[in-house]
Amino acid sequence: ALDPTTTGWVHLAFTISGTECVVYFDGEVVAQGDFTGVDWTGCDLLSIGSGAPRFTEWGHGFDLSFIDELRLYNKALTQQEIQDIRQAGL
């Protein structure tokens, strides 16, 4: 877990394949498990840091976090690829 009061910027990555989800902090695996993937059929909107406008039931209209860069890839990156991206600052 990251303590937001003492932790500076962290490179966060997660990969989703048809069989597994993996979460990385600064290029290191912090969690992973079986996952059947995501079905994007009919998806026409992606909300980051909020559920709005489609999900507003919890009143979570925004997030106070800072996101410096956001990248989406059309494949599950390997740990080495994630470390290379982090190292290069891409």
**Consecutive sets of 10 residues in the chain, 90 residues long: mean pLDDT of each?**
78 94 95 92 85 77 78 95 89
Q: What are phi and psi of 87, to 5 degrees?
A: -65, -40
The reported pLDDT for the residue numbered 65 is 73
Element (H or E) spanning 86, and its range?
A: helix 79-88
The reported pLDDT for the residue numbered 53 is 80
Q: What's the domain count of the chain?
A: 1
3-class secondary structure, 2: coil
In a domain, 7, yes or no: no
Could you list the residue range(s) of the whole structural domain that residue 44 is in? 12-88
Contact 55, 63 (CB under 8 A): no
- pTM as predicted: 0.78
- Chain CA centroid to CA 69, Å: 11
In a domain, 79, yes or no: yes
In a domain, 3, yes or no: no
Burial of 24 (0-12, 13-18, 19+ CB in 10 A): buried
